Amino acid sequence: MQNLQVQLRRSDKSDLEILFQFQLDEEANYLAAFTPKDPANKKAYIEKYTKHLDDPTINQQTILVDGIIAGSVAKFMIDGDTEITYWIDKRFWGKGIATTALKNFLTIVDIRPVFARVAFDNIGSQRVLEKCGFTRIGEDKGFANARQAQIEEFIYKLI
């Protein structure tokens, strides 16, 4: 990881401006696949994530690399299950940052089991989950806004 200092801190509203910019990258959006219908709608993004910051069932952390915002990681509940999600700015891909940040996050979020979902062809994100102890337990199909198509996604679980 090239001696980069990876830290997490609770996200605040001032982070949202930068985090919004990350999701505008076309390649990142394509890989994430399951994105908002209009990722360029800044107003909708800020409103949604401001609500998330105030929701006690959601724990959203900002990932800092050497003090610079590099992404986010969050825990949320869906249909009674604990799920995680993360997004890393493309400039920080391939440096072990997502893996380090997720490992650190999983020490804060000690609820188990925890689930994650990833597009079938997002190999980088699949590797991150596996390095953090997640096991692929199934698959599903869903409509991916970023691709305007129904695609397969893999379901991962950490016990």
Each domain of the chain, given as residue ranges in start order, spans 6-158
DSSP 20: H
For residues 46 and 37, give the distance between their C-alpha atoms in angstroms, rounded to a whole number: 15
* Residues constituting the chain: 159
pLDDT single digits (tens) 94-151: 999 999 999 999 999 989 999 999 999 999 999 999 999 999 999 999 999 999 999 9
Tell me which fold the domain 6-158 belongs to. Answer: Aminopeptidase (3.40.630)
pTM for this model (two decimals): 0.93
Task: Indicate whether 1 pLDDT > 60.
Answer: no
For residues 79 and 57, give the distance between their C-alpha atoms in angstroms, rounded to a whole number: 13
- CB neighbours of 60 closer than 8 A, spacing ≥ 6? 10, 11, 49, 52, 53, 72, 73, 74, 75
Radius of gyration of the chain measured on its C-alpha atoms: 15
pLDDT single digits (tens) 126-141: 999 999 999 999 999 9
Task: Indicate whether 64 pLDDT > 60.
Answer: yes
Q: What is the mean pLDDT of the chain?
A: 95
Q: Label the pairing between strands 59-65 and 6-10.
A: antiparallel
Terminal Cα distance for the chain, rounded: 26
CA separation, residue 76 to residues 32, 80, 82 (Å)? 17, 10, 6
Structure tokens at 42: 């800044």
Crossing angle of the two packed helices 42-54 and 13-22, in degrees rounded to 10: 130
